[in-house]
């Protein structure tokens, strides 16, 4: 029997939380071992954020070419789209990023082990590798096991029922795609497939799309869906399916309670994600739970000494950038640094058409928290840069929410083309405790979309210049 490995730090999960924790731990001189059963990079790099944005980008390019006559671009014939080539290009991106993560871990002198870690107690696990089982006994354990797509009992994954992961690896474009769930994953992918020519229909149980964002932000997305023939059925509950192949039908109850059948070729189920807590011995680790999530404090400590948990495993928001920051923090705490996880905001981005960004509190949330607020808004329709990139007519805007008494900025939201690239500035302003006057007094380059932020603050201060 081989001797157990005894690292200072054992990290389970090689996603953006786990590999960042490992790199930082290695930089700090900690003997670190990272265990991952798949390729390094996790859901975000391999099956989620990066590959989905690649396909969204490809779909956007195709859609632009097909609708470019208005700005003087004509093609000798209509563009065509090769999904298999796009998938191959997407896979090349993920392969390069996987290689990059591998190199960064090696540079930080982090050992890696491929296999599934199953815990027998809080600090001991066995990893089933190709070479045989390996036992690990660690001083510190960081759980970064991530999350998996939530499944509906009436629509289990398999065959023509797809998770987001499977949708990103299709070999053929479905002519008719049913999307169950109008959250950000469903609409990001649904819009991409619609741009590529699929007939897309969205079934949503709630009374509006993108329920995590306020109605003002989602209205431009609703307009795009309607304009581009994407049918959305709200207050509708899926009940199952019948048939297969060309005779496949999604069954659902419409808002009026009547039974409906939707003919389709594929069904994409995007009803959220759930923490990956099953099948690896979490029940043997004596940690406390908070509903479906592992319970942690503001340093990501669990109830078991020297066992830490980060990322999707510990609760909303289930976002890669949250996991990375938590992983970096935990590594530094183990190394003796004084840290805690207390961000002013964790920005969220929805890569729909148009894009949505939200950082901090919305006007309604700020009022519910007891603040009297000033709200300023600047429309894309008044932005020269938006006009020059055909984005002034999509209903986009930037909105700032601030306290009425001292003008402290509480939240910044935006919807419009390329607003995802403004998310860093929004979060930075909130984290640094900016006032309206701070942003209004910062000179922004012209012509850029970023000019909409100081213009929105001027509107909140009551002296907008360009509206």
Catalytic residues: 446
Cis peptide bond upstream of 83, omega within 30: no
What are 420's two structure tokens?
Answer: 């995802």
How far lies 154's CA from each of 234, 239, 291, in Å? 18, 6, 23
**72 contact partners, CB below 8 Å, separation of at least 6:** none
Q: At what angle do helices 49-66 and 83-107 cross, to 10 degrees?
A: 140
**Are the C-beta atoms of residues 137 and 5 closer than 8 Å to each other?**
yes
- The secondary structure of the chain, three-state, reads CCCCECCCEEEECCCCCHHHHHHHHHHCCCCEEEEECCCCCHHHHHCCHHHHHHHHHHHHHHHHHHCCHHHCCCCCCCCCCCHHHHHHHHHHHHHHHHHHHHHHHHHCCCEEEECEEEEEECCEEEEEECCEEEEEECCEEEECCCEEECCECCECCECCEECHHHHCCCCCCCCEEEEECCCHHHHHHHHHHHHCCCEEEEECCCCCCCCCCCHHHHHHHHHHHHHCCCEEECCCEEEEEECCHHHCEEEEECCCCCEEEEECCEEEECCCEEECCCCCCHHHCCCCEECCEECCCCCCECCCCCEEECHHHHCCCCCHHHHHHHHHHHHHHHCCCCCCCCCCCCCEEECCCCEEEEEECCHHHHHHCCCCEEEEEEEHHHCHHHHHCCCCCCCCEEEEEEECCCCEEEEEEEEECCHHHHHHHHHHHHHCCCEHHHHHCCCCCCCCHHHHHHHHHHHHHCCCCCC
Q: How far apart are CA 168 and CA 191, in angstroms?
A: 13
């Amino acid at each position: 029997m081989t001797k157990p490995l005894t690292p200072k730090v054992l990290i389970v999960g090689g996603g953006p939380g786990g590999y960042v924790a490992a790199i930082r731990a290695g930089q700090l001189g900690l003997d670190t071992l990272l265990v991952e059963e798949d390729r390094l990079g996790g859901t975000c790099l391999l099956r989620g954020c990066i590959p989905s944005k690649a396909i969204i980008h490809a779909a956007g390019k195709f859609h632009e070419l097909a609708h470019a006559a208005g700005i003087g671009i004509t093609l000798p014939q209509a563009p065509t789209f090769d999904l298999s080539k796009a998938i191959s290009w997407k896979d090349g991106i993920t392969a390069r990023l996987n290689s990059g993560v591998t190199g960064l871990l090696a540079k930080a002198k982090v050992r890696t082990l491929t296999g599934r870690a199953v815990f027998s107690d809080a600090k001991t696990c066995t990893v089933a590798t190709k070479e045989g089982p390996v036992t690990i006994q660690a001083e510190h354990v960081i759980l970064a096991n991530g999350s998996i797509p939530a499944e509906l009992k009436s629509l289990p994954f398999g065959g023509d029922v797809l998770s987001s992961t499977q949708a990103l690896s299709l070999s053929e474009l479905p002519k008719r795609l049913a999307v169950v769930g109008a959250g950000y994953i469903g609409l990001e992918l649904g819009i991409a497939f619609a741009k590529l020519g699929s007939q897309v229909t969205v079934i949503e149980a709630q009374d509006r799309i993108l329920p995590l964002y306020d109605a003002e932000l989602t209205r431009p997305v609703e307009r795009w869906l309607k304009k581009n023939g994407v049918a959305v059925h709200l207050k509708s509950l899926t009940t199952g399916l019948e048939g297969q192949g060309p005779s496949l039908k999604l069954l659902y109850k419409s808002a009026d309670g009547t039974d409906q059948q939707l003919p389709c070729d594929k069904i994409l189920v995007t009803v959220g994600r759930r923490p990956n807590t099953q099948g690896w011995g979490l029940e043997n680790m004596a940690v406390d739970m908070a509903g479906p999530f592992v319970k942690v404090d503001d340093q990501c400590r669990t109830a078991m000494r020297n066992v830490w948990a980060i990322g999707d495993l510990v609760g909303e928001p289930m976002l890669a950038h949250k996991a990375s920051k938590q992983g970096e923090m935990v590594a530094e705490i183990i190394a003796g640094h004084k840290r805690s996880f207390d961000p002013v905001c964790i920005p969220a981005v929805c890569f729909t058409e148009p894009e949505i960004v939200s950082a901090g509190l919305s006007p309604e949330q700020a009022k519910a928290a007891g603040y009297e607020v000033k709200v300023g808004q600047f429309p894309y329709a008044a932005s020269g840069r938006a006009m020059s990139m055909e984005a002034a007519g999509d209903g986009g805007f930037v909105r700032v929410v601030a306290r009425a008494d001292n003008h402290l900025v509480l939240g910044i939201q935006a919807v419009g083309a390329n607003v995802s690239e403004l998310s860093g500035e929004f979060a930075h302003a909130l984290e640094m405790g900016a006032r309206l006057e701070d942003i209004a007094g910062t000179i922004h380059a012209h012509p850029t979309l970023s000019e909409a932020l100081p213009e929105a603050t001027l509107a909140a201060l009551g002296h907008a210049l360009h509206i």
